[in-house]
Structure 1
Amino acid sequence: MTAAHLADLLGPWAPEHGRLPDSLADAIADLVEQGFVPAGIMLPPQRELAASLGIARGTVASAVSILVERGYATARRGSGVRIRSGKATAQTGMSGRLFSFTNASAELADLSTGALPASRVAREVLAGGVRELDPYLDTDGYFPAGLPVLRQTIADYLTRRHTPTKPSEILVTTGAQHATQLAVRSVVAPGDLVLCDDPTYRGALEVFNSEGVRVQGIPMRGDGLDVALLEQAMKRGPELLYCQTSIHNPTGRTTSTTMRKAIAGVVNDSSVQVIEDCCSADLSLGVGAAPSLAGLVDPDRLIGCWTCSKLFWGGLRIGWIRASAPRIRVLTELRKVGDLATSVVDQLLAVRMLQRVEEARDERRTLLHDQLARTEAVLRELRPKWRWEPIHGGPCLWVDTGEDAALLAERAKRVGVKLAPGPRFSPHDGHRTMLRIPVWHDQESLRAALMVC
């Protein structure tokens, strides 16, 4: 476990009053008992943990001594500190990257997530209720692949955006994270090699961690993956390439047409399976949605993961997978193991929302344009040394702070502000100076949060 991951898991552990070693030991012990820090794992070196937490090394050493005395860990000179099995519960396979999505207190200023509030289209549809439910009440309510009407609506939507699709090529999921986990699980086994963009979506990194795969990041170079490094990585025999070529999370950049074709060429010359995250494709600052790899990559080896959360609302738990019809049948059987079907009510609401997708896209584009300008103005005023590249879309800026952003995030915790530093988005804990800053917060809230951290 790296120091950055442990810091993420710890959350706001430092008290206003009391001894720091006791509080740190209590926080780590709590993680052990909950299974977030499993038996047998090595804690990060004391010097690295102290640097990540912004505290003295002696504080960490004292906390470790307390853990050893209480039976949570064993320490051996030259061998580090290891968690004892007698105190630890089963491993959860989490690294803390998605802790932004826990229920934070109202006093906490959350700048760690780019999730947008409900759109006007979503609010209007939700206010109208579900009028089409009666015919489904006479069924058992289980539609593992999704309601036929929603699969058709999604297929029509994708076809209109120049990705011809049949309903048989759609599997409705309970959100995009469910789609990503299902898609990854269908392709890899523990120990397999997975390639991904670096930086990348942190939810995907959590899935890779839970599946026990090896991960190699391919650096982003301006308008897309470094194709030369991708070609080299293909020689290692990966099972999967995970990427985002429409609107990239967290950088907000779009892969150029030339680069997209080059990536497709490398993929088509290999045997690798591709999972493309298209979740932010509709959040383009330009007119229309950003394109994807569909039509360029062999359709038998391309799986697309999509969501309604970006355009409409995260509380509507509707995502989907687009893939070849044979693969959709396999994925449908696989999803039954842990999730028999998606809510019929949510699916019917999604049908009505997707029928207004162009309206919702225009609404989001206007919001993001306006808020981006306001956010950049606040950053230039309060953080004039911070730098960022112009974005093509998405709800966030990828900002170079010029300092250790993980340490900045740790300091921010202590004053009630949650930040998302670069290592959360990297398979190799890279991008140490980077922060992902959401652009949708109002100016005063953003200003207040930045002034105290």
Structure 2
Amino acid sequence: MARAEHVDSAALARLLGGWRADDMPLPHALADALDELVAGNVLVEGAALPPQRALAAALGVSRGTVAEAYAELAARGRLTSRQGSGSRVRRDRSAGGGDHVVDGRLASFGSTRRLAELDLSSGALPALSLVREAVSAVDLCELDVYLAGDGYYAAGLPRLRAVVAEQYRAQGLPTEADQILVTSGSQQAVWLCASSLVTPGDEVLVEEPGYRGAIEAFRTAGARLTAVPVRADGLDLDHLDRVARRAALLYCQPAAHNPTGISLPAAARERLSEIVGRHGLLTIEDRSCADLVLDDRGVRPPLPDPPGPGLVIRIGTASKLLWGGLRVGWIRAERPMIKRLTQAKAALDLAAPVLDQMVTAELLTQADRARRERTRRLRAHLADAVAVLAERRPAWRWTPPSGGTALWIDTGTDAVALAERARRRGVLVTAGPAFSPANAQRSRIRLPFWRPVDQFAQAVDLLE
């Protein structure tokens, strides 16, 4: 966001978060919230704010409220306004800032803004029962071996790398332990790839809609993002074939795509591999959600290797299947690439936590059991959620997901405004533009369905 010259109204609404305050008028509260974004350098010098009417629609307030807020910011010296060119940020560099942006939401230290009571902005799952068992059964003799050293295993614990490699072999992809780099979650893996493999100005192909963490990672790396549409049957391969020849890299999620939950059929995966090989297109296959299966076809295997060596880098994680509190992900690639990315990671955080890796290595030996438990639970929650939506939101439409934890819903209305109204009622959901490199998908929301049915129904009642 800080790099954009023109700030989109939907993106700004997401950054503002729960900006309303019970103890002050709306224009003043909005001015304070915008001021914080400027002070924290989230909105940079010269950035053009949205037109008053567009921001008012996104926030669900009157145009007059936005006009008064802009006028107050101008009086504070935070905005400059010119006829025909709109309002642009003017940042006082002497002002301090105590704000952080986390996952697209503003977190202000000392803020009096009320947090959402029901957070449906994330599809992250609670831990499986296996996690507690594995933590309780940590092998202290094995731990003693690690305690005798400094604990810095730059590429990951040897045992965990071997277990992950075995997982890939079981899915039909020959892999050795030295082709695995352990990361602190799959998000770090995405950022490592983006920062190491992309130079400013490179054209990177991303899905539309797509995983918002990857969109931000490549945007931060200075890439020029080109959207490849995701249709009801998955990535538009005809479109990909047309744009692949000029791109530096493709990022995609062929299995249990986030946010749609769609998985490419086997024939389409073969064709995707063929396109990658024919164009020599470096490709990141993110399989973070591939273990979360909802249909009867099971876990989709990795993308077949194209003829060109080293073209596909694969990302995985334990956080989706097992528990988000286990910050363990990995990258599977050819050895020279693993060496390059290991050096980049070591400069970032030295190594992933040893105890998390020990627990994850043990749990991955029970991956089939974990997948069965997750599938059973997710299917039950999905059936409950679909029944609630059929009764209370019959006009909403979505493609039945083959995997994942959420529904990608077309509300048929302005989802940005809908999300803002829900926020005021204590429900936090993410509207479609967050998953779009072009801030499109404005009628869509991602709605996680894994919560207890009474909580899900309560949230849906407030989404209107």
Q: TM-score range by the shorter chain?
A: over 0.9
**Does residue 267 of structure 2 align to residue 255 of structure 1?**
no
Native 8 Å contact 2:154 2:350 kept in 1:
yes
* Aligned match of 1:417: 427
The 1:97–1:398 alpha-carbon spacing in structure 2 relative to 1, beyond 3 Å, is same
- Assess if the C-alpha contact under 8 Å between 1:412 and 1:418 holds in 2: yes
Separation in 2, partners of 1:222, 1:274: 22
Partner SS for 2:156: coil
Q: Which amino acid aligns with 2:288?
A: C
> How far, CA to CA, are the matches of 1:390 and 1:251 in structure 2?
9
The alpha-carbon deviation at position 165 of structure 1 amounts to: 0.8
Which of 103, 120, 125 pairs up with 1:111?
Answer: 120
Structure 2 unaligned blocks of 5 or more: 1-6
- C-alpha separation in 1, matches of 2:106 and 2:258: 15
| RMSD (CA atoms) | 2.3
Relative to the length of structure 2, the TM-score reads 0.92
Task: Give 1:35 deviation, angstroms.
Answer: 2.2
**Shift in Å, 1:300:** 0.7
Contact 1:196 1:242 in 2 (8 A): yes
Match of 1:120 among 129, 151, 170: 129
Q: Write the distance in 2 (CA, Å) between the matches of 1:428 and 1:279.
A: 23
Instruction: Give, in whole Å, the separation in 1 of the partners of 2:391 and 2:328.
Output: 39
Among candidates 4, 10, 20, match of residue 4 of structure 1: 10
Aligned pairs, number: 452
CA gap 1:166/1:127 in 2 versus in 1, 3 angstroms: same
Change (3 A) 1:432 1:180: same
Amino acid corresponding to residue 260 of structure 2 in structure 1: T
The alignment partner of 2:310 has SS state of helix
Q: How many Å apart are 1:282 and its aligned residue?
A: 0.8
Q: Are residues 1:309 and 2:309 paired?
A: no
Q: Which residue number corresponds to residue 283 of structure 2?
A: 274
Residues in 2 aligned to 1:354 and 1:23: alpha-carbon distance in whole angstroms:
48
CA offsets 1:305-334 (integer angstroms, 9 cap, x no match):
110011110011000000001100011111
2:417 equivalent to 1:397: no
Deviation string, structure 1 residues 194-225 (Cα, Å, up to 9, x no partner) = 10111111111111221121111111122221
2:156 pairs with 1:146: yes
Distance in 1 of aligned mates of 2:419 and 2:147: 49
Structure 2 counterpart of 1:402, one-letter code:
G
Letter in 2 for 1:193: E
CA contact (8 A) 2:46 2:88 kept: yes
Could you say what secondary structure the match of 2:349 adopts? Answer: coil
Tell me the SS of whatever aligns to 1:290: coil
> Relative to structure 1, is the Cα distance of residues 223 and 396 closer, same or farther in structure 2, using a 3 angstrom cutoff?
same
Distance 2:224 2:116 in 1: 38
**CA deviation after TM superposition for structure 1 residue 288, in Å:** 3.4
Q: 2:224 aligns with which of 207, 211, 214?
A: 214
Q: Tell me how far apart the structure 2 counterparts of residues 93 and 303 of structure 1 sit (CA, whole Å).
A: 34
Separation of aligned partners in 1, 2:197 and 2:428: 34
Q: Secondary structure at the match of 2:315?
A: strand
| Among candidates 372, 384, 406, match of residue 362 of structure 1 | 372
Residue 170 (structure 2) aligned to one of 160, 178, 195: 160
Offset at residue 400 of structure 1 (A): 1.1
Q: Deviations over 1:152-193 (max 9, x none)?
A: 111111111222210111000000000000012221111211
Note the alpha carbon deviations across 1:218-273, whole angstroms, 9 max, x for none. 111222211221122124x2111000111111111110112212222221111321
Which secondary structure does the structure 2 equivalent of 1:300 belong to?
A: coil
CA contact (8 A) 1:32 1:88 kept: no
Q: Equivalent residue of 1:338, what SS?
A: helix
**SS of equivalent residue, structure 1 residue 172:** strand
2:49 is aligned with 1:40: no
Q: Which residue of 2 aligns with 1:231?
A: 241
* CA–CA separation in structure 1 for the residues paired with 2:100 and 2:247: 23
Structure 1 residues 52-451: aligned runs within 5 Å = 52-87=58-93, 98-99=104-105, 108-129=117-138, 131=140, 132-235=142-245, 237-285=246-294, 286=296, 288-296=298-306, 298-451=308-461
Query: How much does 1:130 deviate?
Result: 5.2
Q: 1:50 aligns with which of 56, 70, 73?
A: 56
Give, in whole Å, the separation in 1 of the partners of 2:107 and 2:16: 15
- Matched position secondary structure for 2:279: coil
Contact 1:37 1:88 in 2 (8 A): no
Q: In structure 2, do the counterparts of structure 1 residues 97 and 219 end up closer, same or farther at CA, with 3 Å as the change threshold? A: farther
CA offsets 1:272-326 (integer angstroms, 9 cap, x no match)? 2101110011111235312221434644111111100111100110000000011
Deviation at 1:127, TM superposition (A): 3.1
2:273–2:305 contact (8 Å) kept in structure 1: no
Aligned counterparts of 1:417 and 1:348: Cα–Cα separation in 2: 37
SS at match of 1:448: helix
Q: AA paired with 2:400?
A: P
Alpha-carbon contact 1:245-1:291 (below 8 Å) kept: no
CA contact (8 A) 1:282 1:289 kept: yes
What secondary structure, in the 3-state scheme, does the structure 1 residue paired with 2:351 have?
coil
Task: Give 3-state SS (helix, strand or coil) of 2:172's partner.
Answer: coil
Query: Are residues 218 and 243 of structure 1, via their aligned partners in 2, closer, same or farther at CA, if it must alter by over 3 Å?
Result: same
Q: Work out whether residues 314 and 333 of structure 2, in 8 Å CA contact, stay in contact via their aligned partners in 1.
A: yes
Once residues 326 and 398 of structure 2 are traced to their aligned partners in structure 1, the CA distance between those partners, rounded to angstroms, is 32
SS in structure 2 opposite 1:428? coil
**C-alpha distance in 2, partners of 1:122/1:250?**
26
Paired residue type of 2:120? L
* Aligned residue identity for 1:377: A
Whole-Å separation in 1 of the counterparts to 2:209 and 2:307:
22
| Alignment partners' CA distance in 1, 2:130 and 2:253 | 26
**Conserved 8 A contact 1:39-1:91:** no
